[in-house]
Amino acid sequence: MVGSAIVRLLKNRGFDNLILRSSKELDLRKSSLVKKFFADEKPDVVVLAAARVGGIQANIDHPAEFLHENLCIQNNVIHESYSHNVKQFCFLGSSCIYPRECPQPMKEEYLLTGQLEPTNEGYALAKIVGLKMVEFYRRQYDFHGISLMPCNLYGTNDSFDPLHSHVLSALVKKFVDAVDDGITSVTVWGTGEARREFMHVVDAVEAILFFMENYDSSEVINIGWGQDISIKELANLIARKAGFKGKLIWDASKPDGMPRKCLDISRMKGFGYAPKIALEEGIEKTIGEYQELKERAAKE
């Protein structure tokens, strides 16, 4: 999702010298392949958008893979970027790096001040190691890397797979499918009390390019809206936008995850960046994109 959005933005800005590889073409987990890629292509600028990602259940079921695979990807790409004299590097983290009981909104300096959320600890640990690796390589080798920590992202090319999707796209699928199939009730995980912050991927990649052009420091910068919404409010909003008029059933036996994740974006705003796509508009876009995916699949 993020990688394809970066490519679209760069092409729209007139860049025609992009060096692109899909995960099938280049397995970033394998150090020998990554080393050969950098030696052959010699990129000047690198944005590391690749990661193993997933929702709560995927993180619960596969913590070892989320830790190991993301560490491999990060270690290989960051080290080879340094070794091959990359001029600019951007590492993308996640708001899950902050402690489970973090004061709200979450300031960058709150990192490593408390216990992580157990349901995504493997992924969070990997992302923390990644941003620290960028910081240490800058300190020791003058490596020009920055680290951006976005809130929950959604949008074009998001996953709607029930096992791998995040909450917003999962809810879009549930309610659109329910309307299409004439289902009168939808079950949603958790109590609905947890709160999350959402940013459309278009805004996120605009922020990436903005900070790569205007920022050069190892200090982490949060990327988001600085506003959150409860999962219950989110579900009701998506249901309304999808035209679902049935009943929502909350399965409290399922985990809520981190109680609240709302970023303090003072540092981001101080540099002059602000997102544009409001949540309601972004949800409408995502519903439309999922409906188009279903229509195409039905014709194949």
137 labelled catalytic? no
The torsion angles phi and psi of 261, rounded to 5 degrees, stand at -140, 90
| Euclidean distance between CA atoms 251 and 178, whole angstroms | 17
Asked whether the predicted pLDDT for residue 292 surpasses 80, the reply is: yes
| Euclidean distance between CA atoms 220 and 111, whole angstroms | 10
Name residue 247's beta-bridge partners: 185
Among 98, 123, 137, 154, the active-site one is 123
Which residues make Cβ contacts (< 8 Å) with residue 275, sequence separation at least 6?
Answer: 199, 200, 203, 206, 207, 224, 225
Which residues make Cβ contacts (< 8 Å) with residue 292, sequence separation at least 6?
Answer: none
Which of 57 and 147 is assigned the larger pLDDT?
Answer: 147
Question: Which of these, 84, 8, 14, lies nearest to 46 by C-alpha position?
Answer: 84
List pLDDT tens digits, range 74-121: 999 999 999 999 999 999 999 999 999 999 999 999 999 999 999 999
pLDDT at residue 57, as a whole number: 85
| Euclidean distance between CA atoms 206 and 210, whole angstroms | 6
pTM of the model: 0.94
pLDDT at residue 258, as a whole number: 87
> Do 66 and 51 form a contact (C-beta atoms < 8 A)?
no
CATH code, domain with 28: 3.40.50.720
DSSP characters over 198-215: EEEHHHHHHHHHHHHHH-
Q: If DSSP codes are grouped into helix, strand and coil, which group holds residue 49?
A: coil
- Strand pairing report for 221-223 and 198-200: unpaired
Residue numbers of the domain that contains 228: 2-299
List pLDDT tens digits, range 239-283: 999 999 999 999 999 989 889 999 999 999 999 999 999 999 999
The counts of H helices and E strands in the chain are 10, 11
Amino acid at 243: G
Residue 146 host element (H or E): strand 145-150
> What confidence tier does 45 reach under pLDDT thresholds 50, 70, 90?
very high
How many CB atoms are closer than 10 A to CB 206? 20
List pLDDT tens digits, range 197-245: 999 999 999 999 999 999 999 899 999 999 999 999 999 999 999 999 9
> What confidence tier does 55 reach under pLDDT thresholds 50, 70, 90?
confident
Angle, vertex CA 6, rays to CA 123 and CA 8, nearest 5: 145
List pLDDT tens digits, range 117-174: 999 999 999 999 999 999 999 999 999 999 999 999 999 999 898 777 789 999 999 9
| Euclidean distance between CA atoms 224 and 203, whole angstroms | 9
Question: Which of these, 117, 63, 71, lies nearest to 91 by C-alpha position?
Answer: 71
Q: How many domains does the chain have?
A: 1
DSSP characters over 225-260: -S--EEHHHHHHHHHHHHT--SEEEEETTS---SSE
pLDDT at residue 236, as a whole number: 98
